């Protein structure tokens, strides 16, 4: 088995487990592995495919509410943002993007994690939800990072565990499906990627289902800590990856 196949399988398995627990974060975790040996354009497609596969698997075991009035602004925003992200992808300086986003996550998320009490964010309303959906869609089109913005927004809003899971799972499923279709239409998905899909999907089945079972037993406080820890780790991973690329350049 080639090193590339092993790297694909390992990244998919670990990312699937984390996504099963949190309802998002496949792209962030998988990229922390794949950045070391998978071409960026290929990794972006694999991230969207793996995240979508994980959402479908998680839906089979973790209860998924469907609150359309709550979800509608996120979904509309995501539908606007995904094609923008796909169009931006070929022209984006990935290192600069990860440097800025990673730095922001690394500053704010640990502060939120260690703050004993956070006042819930009351402003923004449905327009704020829609803007977060646009941002999540753009990031999904760029590389499958659909869950970062909604996860942070739900935490700032003070949503409980079940409401957060409802937003994250339904938004990510819709946005990742749209991103994958957009990538197919744009020509980013090639036939020679099919063997890689065949590695990723089976590698993540058991870890994703296991993570979904663990989620069921999490308390609301533990779930919040998981989300903020993952966002903090994501920021660190993005920052290190971007600095490595910029220093090599």
145: which DSSP letter?
A: -
Residue 25's pLDDT is what?
A: 80
Confidence (pTM): 0.81
> Does the pLDDT at position 248 exceed 80?
no
The predicted pLDDT at position 63 comes to 59
pLDDT digits (tens, 9 = 90+) for 175-199: 999 989 988 998 889 999 999 999 9
Residue 5: pLDDT band with limits 50, 70, 90: very high
Q: Which pLDDT belongs to residue 116?
A: 56
pLDDT at residue 52 tops 90: yes
Dump pLDDT digits (tens) for 117-133.
666 777 788 999 999 99
Asked if 136 and 146 count as a contact pair (C-beta separation under 8 A), the reply is: yes
């Amino acid at each position: 088995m080639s090193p590339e196949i092993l790297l694909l399988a390992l990244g998919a398995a670990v990312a699937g487990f984390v996504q099963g627990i949190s309802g998002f974060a496949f792209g962030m975790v998988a990229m922390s592995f794949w950045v070391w040996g998978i071409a960026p354009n290929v990794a972006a497609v694999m991230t969207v495919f793996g995240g979508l596969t994980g959402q479908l698997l998680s839906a089979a075991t973790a209860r998924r509410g469907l609150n359309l009035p709550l979800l509608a602004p996120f979904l509309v925003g995501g539908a606007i943002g995904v094609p923008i992200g796909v169009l931006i992808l070929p022209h984006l300086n990935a290192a600069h993007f990860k440097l800025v986003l990673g730095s922001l996550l690394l500053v704010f998320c640990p502060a939120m994690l260690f703050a004993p009490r956070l006042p819930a964010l009351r402003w923004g309303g449905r327009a704020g939800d829609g803007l977060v959906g646009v941002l999540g869609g753009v990031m999904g089109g760029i590389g499958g990072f659909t869950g970062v913005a909604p996860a942070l927004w739900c935490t700032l809003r003070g949503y409980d565990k079940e409401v957060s899971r409802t937003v994250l799972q339904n938004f990510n499923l819709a946005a990742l499906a749209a991103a994958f279709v957009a990538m197919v239409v744009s020509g980013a998905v090639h036939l020679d990627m099919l063997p890689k899909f065949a590695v990723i999907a089976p590698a993540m089945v058991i870890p994703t289902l296991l993570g979904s079972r663990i989620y069921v037993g999490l308390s609301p406080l533990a779930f919040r800590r998981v989300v903020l820890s993952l966002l903090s780790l994501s920021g660190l991973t993005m920052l290190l990856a971007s600095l490595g690329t910029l220093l090599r350049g």
